[in-house]
A and B are shown apart, each in its own frame.
Chain A
């Protein structure tokens, strides 16, 4: 029997980016807020000290900051007729854990989605006709527009101090920025980061081919910055230990550097760490959440009653908690009914390695940051004519080499032996004069047979069914990968590489090799309760005092990194709660 705690106004499940943003907004509103976080408390100077954080073995290879699979994991299969097996060591993605969540160990690439991404189904149908899309593709519009989200993108970028060069200021195209981006109301708060030699040469070659290269928007700051909450950040030192690591230099935007020190000073906020929420409780009608139940590290079960429940865990855990709590109709791909677990997607990244004459090129690849790099956006979204190409979607192409870390930075031309003296010689010869991390960061659209549900066989330590991932690439994504990889290779060739190794994404979807942690969908937002879990404000259609934040809301994934959009949606949802919901609790959209 769970022990009941005193009621709060708001309970927040998961204290990463979205939980921190929501906690800050709702405590500002005067509400009494508790956040319940599965992992430990983490803080910059004590948990990410500059003098041991740069430990590739501990953090990258041994996954120090991530969830331990024996706490909970997922099962995986490519196809619906296969038996899914549990993931016992993380590979394709890294489930975050602990205060700050993925905001601790991200690269801090801070993109906005394109205006057409939010109205994707409508846009593509209008341009190419409905029959152009594959039959089993289940893409849909988001129920909001870029223009509605713009103020909240802006809010997040100014929270983070994002470094970049504007490409479209209030409709005016700007030199040096991304000419394809949606109009932004203000310039970036800080100028773009300085670029390395490799990034610069790549941009020069891209420009000579007629593209418009621009610096990647970066949450690793180009200069010191004080955010609107009064928190101070320092300039990035280009140490090259961003993704997989926390930043002890106060130069990577994270909940720790941009929100938490202010949040924890508030008397109407508390956090309970090392406590795992096991379900959202509802009343007898099933239409109202009464709070959550969680377990602490002693196995003790607690009930935290609250008037408002904010589900802000990692995307797949949001979906799992909805399913375990029996909120919303589970998706059934065979009957094509239900919504929870539907439109699950990931990313479809490809890469190109370039090898250069070591007597002429020295890229010093270790001088880098997680979001450094030069990109082009000509092949993203629908910025190019897909008519003759036979696929939809795309991604940015970027020379975004983020590090030259010793264990993993062993670039060798294809054909080199995998081990032994020849391999060692090739690593030595190519370390400084090769470009790895040629990033093709492409969209992954949604399909009827890519989804999440509760595994019928495997359970976690608490006896709860694991989340089952059924996911594979479809021809559309593979075609896009080949096309974009060829375009990228042309640029590397133009830089003067003597060998160009193309690595287009291939099927089947591989769970063992890291791609990105951008798993999306499963609890998507939309305009119609028959095809979405939440309304446009991320409010559950079924339980109006439950809001579901995070990338689980994406109906499909775009060709950009998701965090900017995840955070902007959290601000958008918070504004709706503050401006509308609290005045008149209940459904904000009547379907």
Chain B
């Protein structure tokens, strides 16, 4: 009896051992037992915010893909990057994974679209990418087949991307600048590499490639304008201290501003979970990037738009943002010091006035204050006037035309987000 039972157990164990390589979710050489490697991977994957694009919000299936990623050329659906062997990346080798992340080349040799920011991830080392792989191998595999290529012809032909890559993609790991501190170099690596800040904040060419000479100087994004995050005096982070930048990334709020829109998600899923030392490194690096000279002339207070805007501001805005434009720290943003107000492109300012917005809630800043929509109440000319006033009362900014508000209103009508 005993021996028979023992035999059965041994047989089962044998079966398990035999099945193990086929059913065990992880693949590649990376070692799931190596805590140090997994933890490094988690840290990098957090900075890289993989979970944002590769998860359908609210699905409860992190990294299982299926979220449509909006690009100016159409939507691309993010892949399943859980270790599921059939529908995820479980069957990929480490080389396959590295090629995808750092070169934009899929395991079957097809080219990825740069909605996957391999152009930035290329700054990571192979060891970095293997660490991310090791972390992803610890995620629960989810069976979820995703059709990723949903672009229209001819962009749906992935061969097209060969040409694009030759124009806009430079391979090569991040090389530290020995003239700079370790902190600066860490910040530069994170910003240029895994955190891929430029994906949103660097202006794009007509083909969607980075205008590298205008690195991080602001770019339109999904009905918003991702502002200049160099040290530019009024359009960028010139008024922000390193501590202000760090607080913003950690909590979504600081004495000047609050994260809304796509940045709210970036804070929520990525930067609020990063190490404080990494956030400070990012801030140090961003604050070292020079701004550009001012080119907009300040409007005179007696300009008719300024007079109308001033009256509307006093009536509608000053209760929260205060007459002096400084708001209430950590609650109502300071328009006087805000890069949102003074950006070259006022898309975010117009959008906030028309639609209102909810700021992000984080553990350290749970209030998540919101601004109501004024689109139903103010005409296009009134929105233009008050936006112009906000841009010129405490800094400079090109006037906002009623036509641009009309256009923004029409564009926003098509957007659910």
**Residues of chain A at the chain B interface (Cβ within 8 Å):** 43-46, 49-52, 224, 226, 229-235, 237, 239, 248-250, 261-262, 265
Contacts and interface: CB of A to CB of B under 8 A. Distances in A.
Most chain-A Cβ atoms within 10 A of its Cβ — which of B356, B364, B368?
B368
B367 interface: yes
Q: Secondary structure of the B side of the interface?
A: loop
Contacts of A261: 361, 366-368
Contacts of A235: 328
A224 B368 contact: no
B330 A232 contact: yes
A46 B319 contact: no
Given A45-B356, A45-B372, A51-B316, A229 B366 contact: yes
Nearest to A239: B319
B378 to A, nearest CB: 9
Nearest to A45: B370
Interface string B206-218: 0000000000000
Interface string B358-399: 100101111111111110010000000000000000000000
B124 to A, nearest CB: 33
Closest 3 CB pairs of A and B: A45-B370, A49-B372, A232-B331
Contact of B369 (A45, A51, A230, A265): A45
A265 B371 contact: no
Contact of A224 (B316, B329, B364, B374): B329
B372 A224 contact: no
A237 B329 contact: no
Nearest to B332: A234
A52 to B, nearest CB: 8
Contacts of B369: 44-45, 232, 250
Interface residues of B, number: 24
A43 to B, nearest CB: 8
Contact of A50 (B319, B331, B358, B361): B319
Given A49-B372, A50-B372, A232 B316 contact: no
A230 B374 contact: no
Given A46-B370, A224-B331, 5 more contacts: A44-B370, A233-B331, A234-B332, A261-B361, A261-B368
B319 A237 contact: yes
B244 to A, nearest CB: 16
Interface in B307-362: 316, 319-320, 328-332, 356, 358, 361
Interface string B137-158: 0000000000000000000000
28 contacts: A43-B370, A44-B369, A44-B370, A45-B356, A45-B358, A45-B369, A45-B370, A45-B371, A46-B370, A49-B356, A49-B372, A51-B377, A224-B328, A224-B329, A226-B330, A230-B364, A230-B365, A231-B367, A232-B330, A233-B331, A234-B331, A239-B319, A249-B319, A250-B331, A250-B367, A261-B368, A262-B366, A265-B363
Contacts of A233: 331
Contacts of A44: 369-370
A234 B328 contact: yes
Given A44-B370, A49-B372, A234 B377 contact: no
Contacts, number: 62
A45 B369 CA distance: 7
Contacts of A50: 319-320, 372
A265 B93 CA distance: 39
A23 to B, nearest CB: 15
Contacts of B365: 230, 232
A69 B363 CA distance: 40
Most chain-B Cβ atoms within 10 A of its Cβ — which of A44, A45, A52, A229?
A45
Given A45-B356, A45-B371, A224-B328, A230 B366 contact: yes
Contact of A249 (B316, B320, B373): B320
Nearest to B377: A51
A237 B356 CA distance: 20
A224 to B, nearest CB: 5
Contacts of B368: 261
Nearest to B368: A261
Contacts of A250: 331, 367, 369
Nearest to B315: A51
A388 to B, nearest CB: 51
A313 to B, nearest CB: 26
A398 to B, nearest CB: 26
Contact of B373 (A49, A226, A234): A49
A265 B361 contact: yes
B331 A248 contact: no
Contacts of B366: 229-231, 261-262, 265
B54 to A, nearest CB: 23
A238 to B, nearest CB: 10
A52 B372 CA distance: 9
Contact of A51 (B329, B370, B372): B372
A1 to B, nearest CB: 31
A231 B368 CA distance: 9
Contacts of A226: 330
A245 to B, nearest CB: 14
Contacts of B373: 49
A224 B332 CA distance: 11
Nearest to A257: B367
Contacts of B332: 234
Given A232-B369, A234-B332, A51 B374 contact: yes
Contacts of B316: 51
A64 to B, nearest CB: 16
Contacts of B358: 45
B294 to A, nearest CB: 32
Contacts of A231: 366-367
A249 B321 CA distance: 10
A228 to B, nearest CB: 12
A230 B252 CA distance: 14
B359 to A, nearest CB: 9
Interface in B115-173: none
Contacts of B319: 50, 237, 239, 249
Contacts of B356: 45, 49
A569 to B, nearest CB: 26
A237 B320 CA distance: 8
Contacts of A52: 372, 377
B273 to A, nearest CB: 15
B248 to A, nearest CB: 15
Nearest to A227: B367
Nearest to B364: A230
Most chain-A Cβ atoms within 10 A of its Cβ — which of B320, B365, B374, B377?
B320
Nearest to B356: A45
Contacts of A43: 370
B160 to A, nearest CB: 44
Nearest to B318: A237
A545 B316 CA distance: 50
A307 B376 CA distance: 48
Nearest to B357: A45
Contacts of A224: 328-329, 331
A233 B369 CA distance: 9
Nearest to A231: B367
A22 to B, nearest CB: 19
B361 A234 contact: no
Contacts of A46: 370, 372
Interface string B283-318: 000000000000000000000000000000000100
A497 to B, nearest CB: 32
Nearest to A224: B328
Contacts of B330: 226, 232
B195 to A, nearest CB: 25
A295 B73 CA distance: 49
B383 to A, nearest CB: 13
B372 A248 contact: yes
A232 B332 CA distance: 10
A250 B372 CA distance: 13
A226 B290 CA distance: 35
A250 B370 CA distance: 10
A234 B322 CA distance: 11
